[in-house]
Amino acid sequence: MAVTNPNIDTTLGAAAQTLLTSSTAQAVLVLKATATNSDNQIHSVSVWRVPTPGAPSNNNRIINAQPIPPGGGAITLNLTGQTLYNGQSFYAAADVPGVVNLNLSYQLTQ
């Protein structure tokens, strides 16, 4: 079994955007997710775990407007141990665009 440990670094917009999607050949296990706030005001992040086919909705939101402290503040999101498979995806959005950064480290297995 091959195992790799990639990561994603992205700046979030106000609309839900795809962070990570699994394939039918690989499972995705979240190792750690960190959100940072580069603004001088409190902002928030929301995360959805979306089946395939599907879209972000209240029914699949797993983090709802989690606040992030201002001035470079960081929080660890409660995604550790979440697993995606068979085309499932994580989506994320911030309350305002361009100031919330997300780092997601994960493991791919075959």
- Domain at 70, CATH number: 2.60.120.340
pLDDT band, very low/low/confident/very high, at 109 (cuts 50, 70, 90): confident
**Average model confidence (pLDDT) across the chain:** 94
Query: How many independent structural domains does the chain possess?
Result: 1
- What are the CA-CA distances from residue 57 to residues 32, 38, 51, 98 (Å)? 23, 27, 11, 22
Kindly report the pTM of this predicted structure: 0.93
3-class state of residue 13 by DSSP? coil
Is the preceding omega at residue 67 within 30 degrees of 0, hence cis? Answer: no
- What are the CA-CA distances from residue 50 to residues 15, 23, 62, 65, 90 (Å)? 15, 13, 10, 17, 6
Strand-strand pairing, 61-68 and 7-11: unpaired
Q: How far apart are CA 55 and CA 49, in angstroms?
A: 9
For residue 49, the enclosing domain spans 3-109
